[in-house]
Structure 1
């Protein structure tokens, strides 16, 4: 008669399973190629398509002057009165288009829009890569009801694999304490299985893409 306790029986099964070695990987298995079929089109076109499918808003701009015109038009259409921005490079853009913005952290609650740059745009998933590096503010991308991302041509990557490969891990010394991947407004269906957008952050996210390389 087996007088083993339930715990001992479980441990015996675990030991027996560990003694059985699985078959080794076949040399024919391809572990390098992508499992997804590549999407056809320019990376920025693929990004725009996938991003808007996830309820994001995409605005194409030829240069910073075109950006100013497009931003002011979108701001007027959506009745934005004030923005929150901590990044000096982006602040210059808004000074040029004469749109009022807040630059003190405590004033974020007064802003209709939070403005940030980004680390990358990921075309295949329609995602924006954000981090706490430099002057990128976590508050600006989360607290205001609308998040506006300003991105440039050399920040577009087809997928995350390509983006990570572009990072020089040997020379980067200031790794950010936070990196997040945003694919449209946050969403939840916890309550009665009804989809709600922007439940845990901005209700809208806009990407203003400038068809120029990001200034150094």
Structure 2
């Protein structure tokens, strides 16, 4: 009689870890963080705008990117470059790209860009080093969610060159899923805005 009660609870425990049962879904922000780091991205969480500026300065110090050229196509980010005396007007050999993004895609840990951030450049035409400024409200579950948000946000004036960057370090063993993709050294400055 007592054995059956413990056996039943043992069965329940086995059912909880059964690989054929659906796994409990992580919140989008945790899923993004996990997949982004798994892809080799460097994630820096910031609670305020002054902290974003401090962390950007830390990235510059870590990589010795002072007094260098930067590729930046978004006027709203120029102040960050100006305060650190970085050149961004017609760079001939930029050390890194500073950009925002359309969205952060949780299910694959990727960054969704459009022509608003990178104009008509393809990922392989961008510098090997990238610093992205984004907010927590930009985290979405999937690419289809990201495309839906772009469609709603821009109404009829859709941006072109919509693409994602997913791999942030060179794979030790390349598989066919990474064929044609260019690994980038990517830092994400993520500002809490929710």
Residue number among 76, 85, 92 corresponding to 2:61 in the alignment: 76
In structure 2, the CA distance between the partners of 1:161 and 1:70, relative to structure 1 (3 Å rule), is same
* Structure 1: gaps (5+ residues): 1-35
1:61 alignment counterpart: 46
Superposed, which structure 2 residues align to 1:86-105 within 5 Å? 86-95=73-82, 98-105=83-90
In structure 2, the CA distance between the partners of 1:137 and 1:207, relative to structure 1 (3 Å rule), is farther
Higher RCO structure (Cα 8 Å, ≥6 apart): 2
In structure 2, the CA distance between the partners of 1:170 and 1:203, relative to structure 1 (3 Å rule), is closer
* TM-score, reference length from structure 1: 0.65
The structure that has the greater radius of gyration is 1
2:96 alignment counterpart: 113
On the 8 A contact 2:41/2:169 being kept in 1, the answer is: no
| 1:39 matched to 2:25 | yes
1:48 alignment counterpart: 33
On the 8 A contact 2:105/2:143 being kept in 1, the answer is: yes
In structure 2, the CA distance between the partners of 1:52 and 1:63, relative to structure 1 (3 Å rule), is same
Residue number among 161, 164, 185 corresponding to 1:204 in the alignment: 185
* Structure 2: gaps (5+ residues): 1-21
Residue deviations 1:129-157 (CA, integer Å, cap 9, x gap): 01113x53455964322011111122111
On the 8 A contact 2:167/2:182 being kept in 1, the answer is: no
SS at match of 1:185: coil
On the 8 A contact 1:140/1:147 being kept in 2, the answer is: no
1:101 Cα deviation after fit: 2.5
Report the structure, 1 or 2, having the larger helix content: 2
1:21 alignment counterpart: none
2:145 alignment counterpart: 162
Give the Cα separation in 1 of the matches to 2:131 and 2:154: 30
Aligned length: 167
Root mean square deviation of aligned Cα: 3.1
